[in-house]
Structure 1
Amino acid sequence: MLTAIPVPAVLRVTPGVATGALVLAPVAVLPLGALVGAILWAGGETTIPPLAVAFVALGALALGSRALHLDGLSDVADGLTASYDRERSLAVMKGGTAGPAGVVAVVLVLGAQAAALATFVGDTRSAVVAGTAVCASRAALWITCASPVPPARRDGLGSTFTRRVPGWWTLVGWAGLAGAAALVDPWRGPLAVGVAALAVLLLVGRAVRRFGGVTGDVFGAAIEVALAALLIGLAGAP
């Protein structure tokens, strides 16, 4: 669900397994965070334009997650713009094809991520911060899958993982991220984390109002939005 790295199959996803997977989501992508950081550091040792390096890093990140989260972002954008009818919107999202709104959403979010990520190209500290932001963005699942958030469907990924993260963990976890971000910059770090959390909350609120709850596509969209907010907020801070 979080990376393309092969692991032994989980034959039965119990509530405990689902909760554990979601709580540890930022840890699961440590290899991808390290890969992004390595690309940014290596790119700084060359004469390649920083923006080009940033796009290579994002390409590697997409490949490492099978572009699953970008697909979710595209589907959610299409679902929100397809119709005000809940069932019609859910059907569009499940269809899998990218419409105009989905394409625009992916271009805009990837562009924002790349522009911000370009500022991290160069020294080791910046590369580490960027890689850590990749991992931290997966904490978006602590909000999308928090206990008060309902699933939009009775089947699918959303129904398996929704309502599995205790509310107290969501609050404590994001507060911990804000505290860790303060080590990067005393005020911009926590602000970036706060904006990322707010962006995810707004997305989830919109999904609940329009779709009746969240789906696996909303999970992916939330991760991409959180990553963009974190990178923009921390750009130039390291």
Structure 2
Amino acid sequence: MVTRYLKRGLEPLRFAFGTLSVLPVRVNRWDRPTAGRAITLAPVVGLVLGGLAAGFATLLAWAHAGSLLAAVAGVAALAALTRGLHLDGLADVADGLGSNRPPDAALKIMKASDIGPFGVLVLLLTLLAQVAAVARCFDLGLPKGAFALGLAAVTSRAALLRGCADGVPSARAEGLGAMVAGTVPRLRGAMTTLLTVALLALAGWATARLGQDQLPLALGTVVSAAAGLGLAALLLTHCLRRFGGITGDVLGAMVEISATGSLILWTLFAAATP
């Protein structure tokens, strides 16, 4: 009986890693209650993926490959660990919003397999901003560069809690968006988000070298995470108005916008702290 309950308790974790990463995890339960618990664990997925990307990038920076190459490797690793799923969502949402078409027509544009000019432009600028921010952080030291990738990965996955909050509708009747829309109780989502930001602040505090004033980095972490989550919430509000609900693409776009916003703010705080 204990084994059965343990396996059942692991199902949300399987769902989270199976849908939000390329890690070889088999998803045994595909239902909305499991999806809601899985999205609550999304920051854990971000922690694992961010740790892998940060480790790879830090190794290159430590080997004197240069901060730019390390940043490209770190951002590329995060993309590879998700099969580019969130970047694809960002491009599709950019095309849908940029089309200025009615909701049904815009959703058809987003579902098309090709990428339009709006998608290409937004994708390019987003990746350039992420690489530039991470490279600058590695210039400031290995701990700050590694933490930048971890912060972006965890904060951006925490943004999914708001995107899947109770009351948020799905724009389509099928797909991942329909499976996870409205599955996270708002109180649970808020508490998980606050806990995630608090733990990130402790990690930011730990990145300062011994003898430094660690409070500014902890405060910078909170502001950076809050900014990333706020940008994702603004995008969500706009997409709900334009499309009438969320899709998997909208959630992916929220991840990338949140990651980019938190990275830029963290870079400014890290540069201002010796």
Q: Work out whether the TM-score is over 0.5.
A: yes
Q: What count of residue pairs does the alignment treat as equivalent?
A: 237
Q: Decide whether aligned partners of structure 1 residues 8 and 181 sit closer, same or farther in structure 2, where only a CA change above 3 A counts.
A: closer
Does residue 195 in structure 1 map to residue 195 in structure 2? no
**Matches of 1:158 and 1:129, distance apart in 2:** 28
Cα shift at 1:126:
4.2
Whether the 8 Å CA contact 1:152–1:214 is kept in 2: the answer is yes
- Residue in 2 aligned with 1:102? 119
Between 1 and 2, higher relative CO (CA 8 Å, sep ≥ 6) is seen in: 1
Aligned pairs for 1:68-217 within 5 A: 68-121=85-138, 122-124=141-143, 126-183=145-202, 184=204, 185-217=217-249
Does residue 220 in structure 1 map to residue 252 in structure 2? yes
Q: Tell me which amino acid in the other structure corresponds to 2:58.
A: W
- Residue in 2 aligned with 1:9? 27
Whether the 8 Å CA contact 2:71–2:134 is kept in 1: the answer is yes
Q: Tell me which amino acid in the other structure corresponds to 1:171.
A: A
Cα shift at 1:136:
2.8
**Matches of 2:30 and 2:137, distance apart in 1:** 38
**Matches of 2:54 and 2:241, distance apart in 1:** 37
**Matches of 2:258 and 2:162, distance apart in 1:** 11
**Matches of 1:173 and 1:2, distance apart in 2:** 18
Whether the 8 Å CA contact 1:40–1:120 is kept in 2: the answer is no
Whether the 8 Å CA contact 1:147–1:163 is kept in 2: the answer is yes
Q: Detail structure 1 runs of 4+ shifted over 4 Å in the superposition.
A: none
Cα shift at 1:8:
1.6
Normalised to the residue count of structure 1, the TM-score between the two structures is: 0.92
Whether the 8 Å CA contact 2:151–2:200 is kept in 1: the answer is no
Instruction: Give the aligned CA root-mean-square deviation in angstroms.
Output: 1.8
Name the % identity. Answer: 36
Cα shift at 1:220:
0.5
Q: Tell me which amino acid in the other structure corresponds to 2:53.
A: V
Whether the 8 Å CA contact 2:171–2:246 is kept in 1: the answer is yes
Whether the 8 Å CA contact 1:36–1:61 is kept in 2: the answer is yes
Q: Tell me which amino acid in the other structure corresponds to 2:238.
A: R
Which structure carries more helix by proportion?
2
Cα shift at 1:67:
0.3
- Residues 130-177 of structure 1 show CA distances to partners (whole Å, capped at 9, x for unaligned) of 324312321111011011211111111111100011111222222223
Cα shift at 1:55:
0.9
Q: Tell me which amino acid in the other structure corresponds to 1:158.
A: G
Whether the 8 Å CA contact 1:34–1:131 is kept in 2: the answer is yes
Q: Tell me which amino acid in the other structure corresponds to 2:223.
A: L
Whether the 8 Å CA contact 1:84–1:210 is kept in 2: the answer is no
Q: Which runs of 5+ in 2 are unaligned?
A: 1-18, 205-216
Cα shift at 1:129:
5.0
Q: Decide whether aligned partners of structure 1 residues 210 and 24 sit closer, same or farther in structure 2, where only a CA change above 3 A counts.
A: same
**Matches of 2:177 and 2:49, distance apart in 1:** 24
Structure number with bigger Rg: 2
* Most deviating of 75-84 and 166-175: 166-175
Cα shift at 1:53:
1.4
Q: Tell me which amino acid in the other structure corresponds to 1:31.
A: V
Normalised to the residue count of structure 2, the TM-score between the two structures is: 0.81
**Matches of 2:22 and 2:120, distance apart in 1:** 23
